Amino acid sequence: MSPHTAPALRTGTWTVRSGRTTAAFEVRNFGFNRVRGTIPVRTGTVEVRDGAVITVRAELDLGALDTRNARRDADLRKPNLLDSGAQPAMTFTATGARRQDAGWEVTGELRLRGTSCPLTLTVVPEGATRVRATGTLDRAPLGMRAPRPMIGRYVRIVVEAELEPPS
């Protein structure tokens, strides 16, 4: 494998190790501050057939969102933002994946608050069973109501996942 070619994956269903997987985010606050936080990944799978990624699905636990500021966390869980009391899960489902450079480009749909928006992730392997996925989410299509100066429109996402290979 050259350093610019995505590795072939073993056929089967790879499972996300939830205790060893982190979904982190970063968003501008008041135009210049950056707020960082994490959302635990409850479950996730990557289905591989003949070395190609066929499906990717992940579910995140919005009720356990953590920005290291309890008041901010409570505000983010309110109905006008994440509404985690009514809908405690956020899901990502891939609609396509293709090899690109040293990894994959995974396109899909992020569902939150009963609506969805497109999300593209760049996924790079970091060892035999670890991957790092990065992308930028436009929160506007999700109907989150907050003035843009308070919370930026674009949210940077970084997922560090450890995968259990198929048996």
CA distance 21 to 163: 9
pTM reported for the whole predicted model: 0.88
pLDDT in tens, 3-51: 556 666 889 999 999 889 989 999 987 667 899 999 999 999 999 998 8
Nearest partner of 113 among 139, 152, 150, judged by Cα:
139
What CATH number did the domain enclosing 71 receive? 2.40.128.110
Query: Structural domain tally of the chain?
Result: 1
d(CA 45, CA 88): 19
Per residue in 94-142, pLDDT (tens digit) is 989 998 888 999 999 999 988 999 999 999 999 889 999 999 999 888 8
Residue 83 has pLDDT above 50, yes or no: yes
Domain that holds residue 24: 12-164
Q: How far is CA 140 from CA 74, 116, 137, 154, 155, in A?
A: 20, 11, 9, 8, 10
Q: Which helix (H) or strand (E) holds 72?
A: helix 70-76
End-to-end CA distance of the chain: 23
Any domain includes 7: no
Are the C-beta atoms of residues 155 and 27 closer than 8 Å to each other?
yes
pLDDT at 6: 62
Domain assignment of residue 5, yes or no: no
Does a structural domain hold residue 4? Answer: no
